[in-house]
Amino acid sequence: MFARTQRLLLRPIWPEDAGALFTAVNDQGIVCNLAHAPWPYTLEDAQDFAARAQDPLYPHFLLTLPGDAGQTVIGTCGLAPLNGEAEIGYWIAREHWGQGYATEAARAVIANAWMLGHRQLVGSHFIDNPASGAVLRRLGFRPTGITRPRFSAGRGYDAMAQEYVLESDMADVERPLAA
């Protein structure tokens, strides 16, 4: 699956992307805010991530700039199953922070989620990463009021995370049509 935004090409992650992926994410300031990526992050970790099979209901995208044949890795954004729900996740390479890429990419992923039939998305951020919470709120996610420990492989321990939810604006699709 592919998606295009005004500035980004969202495409599948391929095994040959491992080197560029490693270079873009190999930053403790990024990895410590992710749930599953370990620190230190190795090229082998990037190779494993790039070789991971895609679940069609939970697509994950490499974010690239379309004008450079997809060579510049901006980050990743996608969906993952979490306790029976669809969770959105993203990271952006440090040199691209503050340019709106996370919000732009996540909007495209959310549109795909609704198209795939998801009715609700969840998201969270570690409380010491308020920039990620700002992205979720810009996207329309609302805080659930729940803050709880969540394991961060990059930190090696549970850190407090604030949880958010976004309801599909397509809920009325299931209503029967008037005769």
Q: What is the pLDDT of residues 79-94, one digit of tens each?
A: 999 999 999 999 999 9
- Structural tokens at position 105: 């990419």
Strands 9-11, 85-92: parallel, antiparallel or unpaired by DSSP? unpaired
Q: Which residues contact 175 (CB under 8 A, 6 or more apart)?
A: none
Calculate the alpha carbon distances from 69 to 11, 73, 97, 100, 115 in Å.
Answer: 12, 11, 21, 21, 27
Report yes or no on whether pTM surpasses 0.85. Answer: yes
Which domains occur in the chain, in start order? 3-172 (3.40.630.30)
pLDDT tens-digit series, residues 106-131: 999 999 999 999 999 999 999 999 99
- For residue 40, cis peptide bond before it (omega within 30 degrees of 0): yes
pLDDT tens-digit series, residues 27-79: 999 999 999 999 999 999 999 999 999 999 999 999 999 877 657 999 999 99
